[in-house]
Chain A
Amino acid sequence: MWKLCAVTMAGLVLAAFAGCNRTDNKQHFVMVPKGVNPYYDPCYEGFKDAGAKFGIETEFRAPQDFSVSEQQEVIEDLIQKHVDGIAISANDDQGLVGVIDEATKAGIKVITFDAPAPSSKALCYIGTVNDAAGYTAGTEMAKRMGDKGVLLMLQGGMGSQNLNERYAGFERAMKEKAPHVTIIAREDTQGKIPVAQEKTEQLLQAHPDATAIFGLSGECIPGAVPALKSANKAGKILLGGFDDIPDTLAAIRDGTCQFCLAQKTYKMGWLSVVELQAACAGKELPKQIDTGVLLVTKDNVDTYMAHMKEEAQQWGGEAATMPATMGAGTAPATQK
């Protein structure tokens, strides 16, 4: 009985909060990332900035862990709140099919950003096409390695579809452009910086002849940096990888890391608002918008973000400048 009371009370409190958010008849878009990570900060910044520019209420709701079930709960909650649009970075493709279906039925426009859910009814994917990004990364690594040496790889989660696609593109570029480089290991960092550090230390012991390390996901470089430093190999081993999180940028500034590939996170957030708005206006969205990647080195580490923002802010507002207007909209918009 007490439990029931407590649960009901908690529900009421949450409902009250939810009610507060609906101030007027402004459209309400919500960004749901995979979990809590500084990587998503610029995504939300772009989302918020675009919202402010186009008069849309925006909100950021992050599941605490990178888990499908928590993400499902967040989305179910948003369906109850009758928001107008949701942009999701999908933790899993199949796992989100049901809940995205439910949201669509409730008249909510759903798109994915950063990580797609191709099996679901999400209208559009805005983000990095990972195979292409991996190919770009491989090309850069091949150029810097000069077709010789031993390369160690780190990856956060061996079952992650977008990272496996990234790896495929990377490997293809290496085979084409630096066929004499040996890739000898691909260790799982489980998405955690301390594990990435542990694995790098072990790899450096196992392969003292290594000349380069590449990290396929964001935690790899921050973990590899202290491992290289304590082995006195900072700057002597080529280090590159994905994602421009603050730790990685600091490593680029101090020279331990030579380059990283920044996904255009701000642009993903900005375009998410533009596309959701177009969908609400009844326009048909393209299935996929590749935002591309940006090479960050010591030369542009302090200026690249400003460029990324400028580029993103060109989009939206006028229908003609929207990347969404690929075809004339046919379905009527379900405005509330």
Chain B
Amino acid sequence: MTSFAYDADAGPSLARRVLRQREVGVFIALVVLVGAISIARPHFLASGNLFIMSRQIALTAIAAIGVFFVILTAGIDLSVGSAVGLTGYVCGLAFAAGAPMPVALLAALGCGALIGAINGFVVAYIGVTPFIITLGMLEICRSTIYTIRHGDSIRGIPASFLKIFGSGEFLGISSPVIALILLAIASHVVLNYTAYGRRVYAIGGNEEATKLSGINVRRVKFMTYVLCSVCCAIAGIMYVGYGTEAHADTGKDLELDAIAAAVIGGTSLMGGQGTVLGVLIGATIMGVVKNGLVLLDVSSYWQQMVIGIIIVAAAIIDVVQNANADNRKAIIRRIAGIFGRRAGAS
């Protein structure tokens, strides 16, 4: 039920603890989904398809892990997609100006850190609602990209960069997937085995209590926004490799996919609950569905709807699964009440 790392040592047997994890439900859903699609279209499991699908999942999941840090503190970052776009564009601009690869990478990461620092400062130290400042940042970053070159792409990215971040692979695994694996392990360790990680969970659980226990809540929150935008910069760099150019519309609406991946994977938007593994499963479900819908020749008119239904279903299941027995009864009573009243009125 809970994802606090430190109470995992408590009581029940391993098997029970595994079954009580929130990720189990979504993981079973993922397995069923993969099974169903591969029966209908065996090509789904072909290595070529797995390669492109995993790469697409990784590009979303890297950003999703970033926003996951922020959501754990009960915050939100809507500027994720624009930050991915702008950091990638900055990387491209650095190359266009003749900068060597390390400089271009640092420029992108630095740009990400700056975006996150502004978001984090305004949220944590001025006290503006995260929704508003990051919404503003979404517009600012995107409009910066458009202002620079009227929305044109940056071509002529050096082959040395594309060799690593574009066509690069290791044992048949694309570079975005490798980056994702490293990032996921690092995030898991930070969140579960460091004081900082525990504070992030604690703030989402109860911000007042955390403050009273003498923790510098502002600094912890500030850092989550910086980490988020730095993850975006990693995704931004990967997108330049993927597209072989820096596009002005890269990352548009990506924040919605990233937040959806976290929520589908069992992260609570109220903060304090969720795991990196859950985010990975959530992003994979979204990627599998998107890929499956094309393989199954589902009309484009329907695809968005299927994804919407999955997000809504995941959110409802999450609420019901998290409710204790009494609350669950209360939910059923409420629903019954609404329909009862309707029937009475007619």
Which residues of the partner chain A approach B295 to less than 8 Å between Cβ atoms?
202, 205-206
From A38, A191, A194, A222, contact of B239 by CB (8 A)? A194
Q: How far does the alpha carbon of A143 sit from the alpha carbon of B188 in the complex, in Å?
A: 56
A36, A229, A231, A250: most-surrounded residue (chain B CB, <10 A): A36
Contact status of A187 and B294, CB under 8 A, knowing A192-B252, A193-B243, A193-B247: yes
**Interface residues of A toward B: which range?**
35 or more
Q: Does B155 contact A (CB under 8 A)?
A: yes
Which residues of the partner chain A approach B249 to less than 8 Å between Cβ atoms?
191-194, 219
Tell me the B37-66 residues at the A interface (CB within 8 Å): 41, 43, 46, 48-49, 52-53, 56
Tell me the B240-256 residues at the A interface (CB within 8 Å): 242-245, 247-253
Q: Spot the interface stretch: B100-108, B142-150, B202-210.
A: B142-150
Q: How far does the alpha carbon of A184 sit from the alpha carbon of B301 in the complex, in Å?
A: 15
Contact status of A206 and B250, CB under 8 A, knowing A158-B301, A184-B297: no
Instruction: Write the nearest CB–CB distance from A238 to chain B, whole angstroms.
Output: 20
Encoded as 1 (CB less than 8 Å from any A CB) or 0, chain B from 131 to 154 comes to 000000001001100100111110
Q: Does B167 contact A (CB under 8 A)?
A: yes
Which residues of the partner chain B approach A230 to less than 8 Å between Cβ atoms?
166-167
B143 A205 Cβ-Cβ under 8 A: no
Number of A-B contacts defined by CB within 8 Å: 94
Extra contacts, 15 of them, besides A226-B242, A245-B152 (Cβ < 8 A), are A36-B150, A185-B294, A186-B300, A190-B253, A194-B247, A194-B249, A198-B56, A202-B291, A205-B49, A205-B291, A206-B43, A206-B297, A222-B245, A246-B152, A247-B152
> Can you list 24 A-B pairs, Cβ within 8 angstroms, ordered by A?
A36-B150, A36-B151, A64-B139, A64-B142, A155-B300, A186-B299, A190-B253, A193-B153, A193-B247, A194-B247, A194-B249, A201-B56, A202-B53, A202-B290, A202-B295, A205-B295, A206-B43, A206-B294, A222-B153, A229-B244, A231-B48, A246-B152, A246-B153, A246-B155
Binding site for B on A (CB under 8 A): 36-38, 40-41, 64, 155, 158, 184-188, 190-194, 197-199, 201-203, 205-206, 219, 222, 226, 229-231, 245-247, 250
